[in-house]
Amino acid sequence: MSRTTPKAEKPSTRTAARWSAVCGVAAIGLGVAAGELLAGFLSPSVSPVTALGGVVIDAVPGWAKELAVSLFGTADKIALITSIALVTLVLAALAGLLEYRRKGAGLVLALLAGAAGLAAVLTRAQAAPTAAIAPVVATVVTMLFLRLLIQRLETWRPVREAVDMPLARRSFVQLLGGTAIAAVVAGIVTTVVRRAGTVVSDFRQAVALPAPVTPAQKVPDGAALTLAGLQPLVTPNADFYRIDTALIPPAVNPPEWVLKVTGLVEREVQLDFATLLSKPMIERHVTIACVSNEVGGDLIGNALWLGWPVRELLAMAGPKPGADMVLSRSTDGWTAGTPLEALTDNRDAILAVGMNGEPLPLEHGFPVRMIVPGLYGYVSATKWLTELKVTRFADDQGYWTPRGWSDHGPIKTQSRIDVPRDGRSVKAGTVQFGGVAWAQHRGVSKVELRVDRGNWQEAKLAPGISTDTWYQWQLGLQLSVGDHEVQVRATDATGTPQPEPRTPVAPDGATGFHTIRVTAN
């Protein structure tokens, strides 16, 4: 019977509002965890969260992606997941508040979010029809628990009368606690399932790579210099840079893999994994690089690739006259447009299955990717490869071209100082400098350094493994006490030095000299 005074009502409503936000978070938490758990079984490579992430990645403009890569480097994916989590958290709290204010309002918000998740899943290229189940279940669970929780909250703290009813309170707290525990448990089980979703990793372990019929060129003596701090001549798989639009690497099961050759061809051809492995394989060291690599950057790596020449497969299909491009497609829908010529000439573009003596790591395109010497990855190095469409530049575009990048992407001549590091203090006198230079498919003929814009001095250039790989270089420079600027430039084997003007990475790769500052004392 006792009416509380308006004074006592205020703080009490505020507490209730806070609890309603918590209800929203718990309900969405349970919904999302349930959806992810289900997706772990039904469609491991497309869950509502990864699909939403994929949509965000595809939707953000090129410059924002650039910014993300430059801010977070290869941690850009973690940054994206964190942002999605934060946005979800805010939306969830809002849904709780709304539902408490007005029955049904929070449910509408949850429904809209669920619809967005469903739409995201359906737009993913590798989504099987079963992938739609997870976002639907996630939405239903969220809405159900949101209503239940808010209902109990209202019995405990009615919107108008702020009466504290211990019994109602207990029942509310029990449901809330139960929901939260269920969300956490579902989350943990999801992680375990994902880990156990090592099905594809198991297949990878089981792949026995054939020996190459044409083994790699011998690494020339002296190709790897001994200066401490240089990157290894061949980059270990674990340290190899990774760039792609996939939030988690697509899971491709080799027995189910097929590569289709379509488009302007005499006859369409299909290749399965066992047949590919039975082909005469070649092995090649090739240094691949990302067009987004800044001057001095590390989005570049050199590996020993095992594979079958793309030209052999294209010859089976017979490209029709007029074709000048091959649009290669990944299982996740990503595409690259490569000049037909680069895939058929003698540069040994390959359908790669091996990387440094192992099957391709999942992040690097397992089971099959393309490797094309001399071209940036975005126009050539398609991972999780599934289709080669023979076409024309006039008719088709790869993923990045409509997003502000050139349709052609030959790798530009570049050089990098790795020793000493930018900003370091060194001992005045003779200081050893070292690093790498690359001009894939042309080769490097000369590397030079200059101190404080003085005369260019020629470095010792180690022999490259081939013109398609990077070269190491070393030079001792005389440094007097004080601050110095040191620059490097490479000249390719056609005699063209790399240009001095600084240009940004877009649309077709950065130019300019890598420049570092050191203090000698």
Ligand X SMILES: Nc1nc2c(c(=O)[nH]1)N[C@H]1C(S)=C(S)[C@@H](COP(=O)(O)O)O[C@H]1N2
The residues binding ligand X (CB under 6 A) are 240-245, 290, 330, 332, 334, 364, 377-378, 381-384
State in angstroms the smallest separation of the CB of 290 from ligand X: 3
- Residue 383's binding partner among ligand X, Mo ion, none (Cβ under 5 to 8 angstroms by kind) is ligand X
Select from 25, 290, 340, 436 the one that contacts Mo ion (CB under 5 A).
290
Sheet holding 457-458, edge to edge: 425-426, 514-520, 482-492, 444-451, 457-458
What is d(CA 461, CA 1) in angstroms, rounded to the nearest whole number?
A: 93
Task: Name the minimum Å distance from CB 386 to ligand X.
Answer: 9
Q: Cβ of residue 344: shortest distance to ligand X, in angstroms?
A: 20
Choose from ligand X, Mo ion, none: what does 21 bind? Cβ within 5-8 Å by kind: none
Closer residue to ligand X, CB minimum distance, 311 or 383: 383
| Tokens read off for 380 | 């050539």
Q: Which is nearer to Mo ion, 53 or 297 (CB)?
A: 297
CB 398, min distance to Mo ion, A = 11
Q: State the binding partner of 364 from ligand X, Mo ion, none, CB within 5 to 8 A by kind.
A: ligand X
Amino acid at 30: L
Burial class of 159 by CB neighbour count within 10 A (0 to 12, 13 to 18, 19+): middle
Rank residues 383 and 484 by Cβ distance to Mo ion and give the closer one. 383
Angle between helices 6-42 and 105-123 (to 10 degrees): 20
Rounded to a whole number of angstroms, the minimum distance from the CB of residue 284 to ligand X is 15
Q: Are strands 425-426 and 385-391 parallel, antiparallel or unpaired?
A: unpaired
**Which of Mo ion, ligand X, none does residue 347 bind to, with CB < 5 to 8 Å depending on kind?**
none
The minimum distance between CB 242 and ligand X, in angstroms, equals: 4
Give the nearer residue to Mo ion in terms of CB position, either 311 or 416. Answer: 416
CB closer to ligand X out of 293 and 491: 293
**Residue 146 or 288 having the CB closest to ligand X:** 288
Whether residue 512 contacts residue 420, with contact meaning beta carbons closer than 8 Å, is answered with: no
Quickly tell me which residue has 């349709």 as its tokens: 407
- Closer residue to ligand X (CB): 157 or 364: 364
Nearer to Mo ion, 305 or 378 (CB): 378
| Angstrom distance (rounded) from CA 343 to CA 340 | 5
User: Which of residues 142 and 401 has its CB atom nearest to ligand X in the complex?
Assistant: 401
Shortest-Cβ-distance residue relative to ligand X: 377
Residues 6 or more apart whose CB falls under 8 angstroms from that of 91 comprise 28, 109, 113
In angstroms, what is the minimal distance from the CB of 370 to ligand X? 8
Query: What is Dmax (Cα atoms) for the chain?
Result: 96
CB of 31 or CB of 54, closer to ligand X: 54
Binders of Mo ion among residues 109 to 128 (CB under 5 A) are none
Q: Which two tokens stand for residue 365?
A: 């395109």
Q: What is the 3 state secondary structure string of 328-374?
A: EEECCCCEEEEEHHHHHCCCCCEEEEEECCEECCHHHCCCCEEECCC
Find the shortest distance in angstroms from Cβ 42 to ligand X: 22
User: Total residues contacting Mo ion (rule CB under 5 A)?
Assistant: 4
Q: How far is the CB of 402 from ligand X (least distance, A)?
A: 15
Interface segment toward Mo ion; rule CB under 5 A; list 29-37, 212-220, 264-272, 288-296: 288-296
Cβ proximity to ligand X, 334 vs 473, nearer residue: 334
Closest by CA position to 157, among listed 171, 169, 170: 169
**For residue 416, what are its two tokens?**
């990098």
Find which of ligand X, Mo ion, none residue 204 binds, CB within 5 to 8 Å per kind: none
Q: Which one of ligand X, Mo ion, none interacts with residue 43, CB within 5 to 8 A by kind?
A: none
For Mo ion, which residue has the nearest CB?
290
User: Which helix (H) or strand (E) covers residue 140, if one does?
Assistant: helix 133-156
φ/ψ of 519, rounded to 5, equals -110, 125
- Answer yes or no: are the C-beta atoms of 353 and 368 closer than 8 Å: yes
Q: How far is the CB of 416 from Mo ion (least distance, A)?
A: 17
Smallest gap from Cβ 384 to ligand X, in A, equals 5
Q: Which does 260 bind (CB under 5 to 8 A by kind): ligand X, Mo ion, none?
A: none
Both tokens of residue 119?
Answer: 């739409």
Residue 240 binding target from Mo ion, ligand X, none, CB below 5 to 8 Å by type: ligand X
Q: Which stretch binds Mo ion (CB under 5 A): 51-59, 146-154, 275-283, 290-298?
A: 290-298
CA distance 288 to 382: 12
- State which residue, 72 or 456, has the beta carbon closest to ligand X: 72
Q: Scanning residues 240 to 269, which ones bind Mo ion (CB under 5 A)?
A: 243
Residues 354-383 that bind Mo ion (CB under 5 A): 377-378
Closest CA to 377 of 287, 439, 296: 287
Residue 132 to residue 198: CA distance in whole angstroms: 22
Stretch binding Mo ion (CB under 5 A), from 225-233, 238-246, 423-431, 481-489: 238-246
- Cα(104)–Cα(404) distance, rounded to whole angstroms? 43
Q: Are 427 and 445 in contact (CB under 8 A)?
A: no
Tokens at 446, concatenated: 């000369």
Report how far residue 47's alpha carbon sits from residue 133's, in angstroms, rounded to the nearest whole number.
10
Residue 300 near Mo ion by CB under 5 A? no
Distance (Å, rounded) from C-alpha 256 to C-alpha 349?
A: 24
- Return the ∠ at Cα 500 (arms to 497 and 505), rounded to 5°: 105
Binding site for Mo ion (CB under 5 A): 243, 290, 377-378
